[in-house]
Structure 1
Amino acid sequence: MPGYFAKKYNTAFTGIGYTGYMAYNPQGVPIAFYAVIPCFIKCGGEIILAAQSADTMTHPDHRNKGLFIELALTTFQLCRDLNIRLLFGFPNQNSLPGFVNKLDWQVAHTMDCFIIHAGSFPFKTIMGKIPLLNKLYTKYQQHTLTHYFSKQTGISNSVFENGYGGIYRDESYLKYKAYGNTSVLQTGNSLLWIKFSEILLIGDILVQPDDFDDMIYTLKKLARKLGIRQIHFHTSPGTTLHGLFAMRFNSTPSFPVIFKVLGDDLQTGKIKFTSADIDTF
């Protein structure tokens, strides 16, 4: 998507943006990159400036030379200078050892991924590979979801309802997150923040427990109509949503949640996340 990364790192709503560094070789060719994405986290009644560790890249010809560590440490100092008090991230299994063993990040917990099988023929995947059919599919998708679309650009953080801390999704944050091409659907009294690809990814949900089964039934029906075989949702353990899903669906461990506290002592044990908080959503 043209302009995706420029929008992703334009966090001007926090007062700072484009926070990170790029390394170049003597010929001026970029060879490594590390950056974080500033945001606000609400925890214990306090709103603090934080940042998510996001994209890291090193050119294959320049790996194992310490560039990742050097750029990360330089970025951490920049964060301190900008009064960012907390860093968090969701690394894959290849990146996790470097963060923990070389950069002193702490693993807080591991998110769970719930996978719901909709039982549909995956015609979305097939049509998406052919430009003309993909265009027709997009129109079909819009028509199918017409009566479910909400005018909201996102939803508030569900973890707050359980007394946990999490990303503070005010109007400015949700306007910024529009770069992710997500949608909000309303089914009955429930609101779902979702993203479509080969799967239907739930970012977060505002739902009453008594409405949960009806919401899931409608979502599975929509997935089948749209030719999507699976619905995924990632969430931290301990939340109401985690409990509602765990009573009905199996889960697998997904993203480790890691923190690096900069400066003062912050309690991170009460901070939780959902799929919507991961930078790729």
Structure 2
Amino acid sequence: MTNRTEEVEYRFERFTPDQLPQLHSLHRAVFGSGSSEEKLRQKFASPVPGHAVIGYLAYAPDGTAAAYYGIFPMIVEHQGQTLIVGQSGETMTHPDHRGRGLFTKLGRRTYDAAGQEGVAFVFGFPNSNSYPGFVKYLGWTHNRTMRSYWLPVPTIPFNRLLRGRPSIADRLDRFQKRLILALGLARPTDEIESSVLASGQSGIKRDRAFVDHKPTILTFEQSRATAYFRLDEHLSIGDVVAEPGAKPFGLLIRLGAIAFLTGRLRIRFHASPGTAADRFLRGRMPVKEGLPYGHVSFDDEVDPELFDFTFIDYDTF
């Protein structure tokens, strides 16, 4: 363990895919053994062709990966233009190297590179632990907070009961997905519409690369509305695109049936306040304040406050 009173000379390196083994070791030290190296490889394969993940790793003198900060490039549509922005994600510092300013040093290096490579702004949805650092040390602005929807479902949480037996839980997950497909309750999707862009607002462009980056998403149409969702610990709605005059009741009944059959105790969804999906579900699902939407801009002509998001746009979805 490193003595925090000692001066330590860290080495900072731009992240490349060759460093995934070191990143995975750091990830395990920070978050436990929940994510495999292959899952990280899939996540760090940039969803924007020609634009790699921008990030930096800090190495301790013994070669141990001590911390990482980076952004995932994304394409947004704004006033008839497409721009490259970056979503902050997978920030981590090894427990033995906390309190040494690595978060700030890595973040500033990442932002310098992002600005030079044409990224208009960086945004994210920080939790309560990381929020103070983003605002105080990396210059983030926070004016809006996402809306968080949670709908309880009375069922038996099969997957949660099998947490200690991941191989059996994985097989159960695959069976449950086959079941809802066989019953015609949902289907895989090769395109993902955006309720944000459909209503004329600025947001993430969900092109083919975006869809390929999120291969576990399922969809269905019900009562003139389309739901995009995935099965994780909960049933997570990514977005809802509704036609004019559509009502949410039938859609929520179908989502509830899927959650019941697959043992998901909650249906959850997040959206920017005032968006079409937020208005569609308001009053039909319990809602509370979610994570803050924060950002830092590198282009004076682009205002990050003009952009909206739904849960499917999060790097964690």
TM-score by length of 2: 0.82
Task: Give the residue type in structure 2 aligned to 1:59.
Answer: H
Cα deviation, 1:188-232, whole Å, max 9, x if unaligned, reads 543222121221000111223424211111111221122222100
Structure 1 residue 128, shift from structure 2 partner: 5.3
1:103-252 aligned within 5 A: 103-127=138-162, 129-130=164-165, 131-132=167-168, 134-136=170-172, 138-146=174-182, 147-178=184-215, 181-187=216-222, 189-208=224-243, 209-252=245-288
Q: Which moved more, 1:205-214 or 1:244-253?
A: 205-214
| Partner of residue 97, structure 1 | 132
Task: Identify if the C-alpha distance between structure 1 residues 124 and 172 changes in structure 2 by more than 3 Å, giving closer, same or farther.
Answer: same
Answer whether contact 1:115 1:251 (CA < 8 A) is retained: yes
Q: Which moved more, 1:33-42 or 1:265-274?
A: 265-274
Q: Distance in 2 between matches of 1:97 and 1:133?
A: 36
| Partner of residue 62, structure 1 | 97
Task: Give the residue type in structure 2 aligned to 1:175.
Answer: D
| Partner of residue 254, structure 1 | 290
Q: Distance in 1 between matches of 2:80 and 2:198?
A: 13
Task: Identify if the C-alpha distance between structure 1 residues 188 and 129 changes in structure 2 by more than 3 Å, giving closer, same or farther.
Answer: farther
Q: Distance in 1 between matches of 2:210 and 2:235?
A: 23
Answer whether contact 1:200 1:231 (CA < 8 A) is retained: yes
SS in structure 2 of the partner of residue 33 of structure 1: strand
Answer whether contact 2:152 2:267 (CA < 8 A) is retained: yes
Q: Distance in 2 between matches of 1:9 and 1:141?
A: 25
Structure 1 residue 134, shift from structure 2 partner: 5.0
1:9 aligns with 2:44: yes
Q: Distance in 2 between matches of 1:185 and 1:194?
A: 9
Task: Identify if the C-alpha distance between structure 1 residues 3 and 136 changes in structure 2 by more than 3 Å, giving closer, same or farther.
Answer: closer
Q: Distance in 2 between matches of 1:129 and 1:17?
A: 35
| Partner of residue 272, structure 1 | 308
Structure 1 residue 187, shift from structure 2 partner: 3.6
Structure 1 residue 267, shift from structure 2 partner: 1.9
User: Tell me, which stretches of 5 or more residues in structure 2 are unaligned?
Assistant: 1-35
TM-score by length of 1: 0.92
Q: Matched residues, percent identical?
A: 28
Q: Higher relative CO (CA 8 A, sep ≥ 6), structure 1 or 2?
A: 1
User: Tell me, which stretches of 5 or more residues in structure 1 are unaligned?
Assistant: none
Cα deviation, 1:40-94, whole Å, max 9, x if unaligned, reads 1111222111010111111122211111101000000110121111111110011
Task: Give the residue type in structure 1 aligned to 2:267.
Answer: I
Cα deviation, 1:240-264, whole Å, max 9, x if unaligned, reads 2111222222211111111111133
Q: Which moved more, 1:236-245 or 1:184-193?
A: 184-193
Answer whether contact 1:19 1:37 (CA < 8 A) is retained: yes
Task: Identify if the C-alpha distance between structure 1 residues 84 and 140 changes in structure 2 by more than 3 Å, giving closer, same or farther.
Answer: closer
